[in-house]
Structure 1
Amino acid sequence: MAETPAVRRKKPSQERARETRERILDSAAQLFAEFGIAETSTNLIAAHAHMSIGSLYRYFDDKAAIVEILRGRLLTELEECFTEAVLGSLGLPLRESVAGSLRVIMRALTERQRLVRALAAEATVAGIGFGGLERRLLLLTRAYLLQQLGPRPDDELDTRAFVMVNAGLAASLRIALQPPPGLDPDRLIDETANMFADWLSAGA
């Protein structure tokens, strides 16, 4: 069926709206990373995106709405990276699979370090929004432990998954945002993985 003139006009308009929205988000991410969220106003974001403040408010109610979208995208990217790492490590030795998953998270955080730092500036790990990510990683880690260790009581699987996810996220976040001077990040990840592997092997 042939498109009507109205449909042909609507598509470019929708595409322009998406491009404008992405330009606002890109500008906000750059400014948050450079100056921090508290020091970045919507006026500054609009100027950086080369638009009026009125145009910005047609897409976002306030700065908090922009922050939430950027946080959500970050957490989705981290979840996708972790999921791919875990699924790709099935069948590998325990130390190697754990180290690979931790390294993927650490590198993903390092690549987005400035934005992660801005989101974390006035918050705990939970305050960054990792609570939602944590719940999804717990399910994935629980399934991984079931595959590695075999059937176990639910409370044991839940406890081990909780410890691994929270300790792993905390270690990866610490290494990515503030690596200890003089220490090799990859070695830190390997030592963390060794600790997890020994702990899991002891309970196998």
Structure 2
Amino acid sequence: MAQRARPQQQRAAQTRRALLDATVDLLALHGVERLTTTAIVRRAHVSPGTFYRYFVDRAAILAVLRDEAVRAIEDDLMVSVVAALDIDVDAAMRSIVVTLVDAFERHRAVILAMVSQLPAGHHANVLPEIEADLHQLASLLPRRHRPDLLPERLEAVVFLTMGVLVSTCLRIALQRPPEVDRDELVDLATAMLVAGLGPGR
């Protein structure tokens, strides 16, 4: 019985993944405004009934994709922050900026779908979990490079640095004008963030 259940579970997981991947493809092609369950099932080559076996509606599949994107971005950022502890502050901050911009670009279609559904659009805090869940981790970098900071000053630096880091990297990944060089923006963001860690600021 268990052996028969395993292939069924694998097929179910594959079908669910096909629906999720089809949704990402459609978001990348047409944006969230033209996303329908009909388009998703056509793209995934399944029946409408199959879609509703896994997801209640379009909002439900978008919520799953959002959670997946947040987890993946958090994982990337965690690895980058840990690696950044052993290098100088400029290189460390640049590495983190590049990691976040890359991650946001990889999940661009899903993030843009999220942005378009928020009342404040691009001005909203699109990914509050990334700031909240990694607050402790984020404090490692200023703690390492600014051991002289008092706890309340460290808290202020971490609070602002994470907010500026996430919003700046989102702007670079999602809103960069075509004529503006990506590396130049990464360098500018790095310089701003390093200045925020500097003494007497």
Structure 1 outlier segments of 4+, above 4 Å: 125-129
Give 2:177's match in structure 1, choosing from 170, 175, 180.
Answer: 180
Counterpart CA distance in 2 for 1:188 and 1:67 is: 30
The structural deviation recorded for 1:102 is: 0.5
> Where do 5+ consecutive residues of structure 2 fail to align?
none
Classify 1:179/1:127 alpha carbon distance in 2 versus 1 (closer, same or farther; 3 Å). Answer: closer
Calculate percent identity across the aligned residue pairs.
Answer: 27
Cα displacement string for residues 94-146 of structure 1 (whole angstroms, at most 9, x for unaligned residues): 11111110011112222332332233223246867511121023221112222
Contact 1:33 1:117 in 2 (8 A): no
Q: How does 1:155-166 map to 2 (within 5 A)?
A: 155-166=152-163
The structural deviation recorded for 1:15 is: 0.6
Larger radius of gyration: 1
Q: CA RMSD in A?
A: 2.0
Classify 1:72/1:90 alpha carbon distance in 2 versus 1 (closer, same or farther; 3 Å). Answer: same
Please tell me the residue identity of whatever aligns with 2:129: G
Are residues 1:122 and 2:121 paired?
no
The structural deviation recorded for 1:70 is: 0.4
Question: Which one is further off, 175-184 or 79-88?
Answer: 175-184
Residue 113 of structure 1: aligned partner: 108
Number of positions where the alignment pairs a residue of Structure 1 with one of Structure 2: 199
Please tell me the residue identity of whatever aligns with 1:138: H
Counterpart CA distance in 2 for 1:122 and 1:31 is: 16
Give 1:81's match in structure 2, choosing from 66, 70, 76.
Answer: 76
Are residues 1:167 and 2:155 paired?
no
Counterpart CA distance in 1 for 2:123 and 2:48 is: 32
The structural deviation recorded for 1:53 is: 0.9
Q: How does 1:1-204 map to 2 (within 5 A)?
A: 6-123=1-118, 124=121, 129-150=126-147, 152-203=149-200
Q: Return the TM-score normalized by structure 1.
A: 0.88
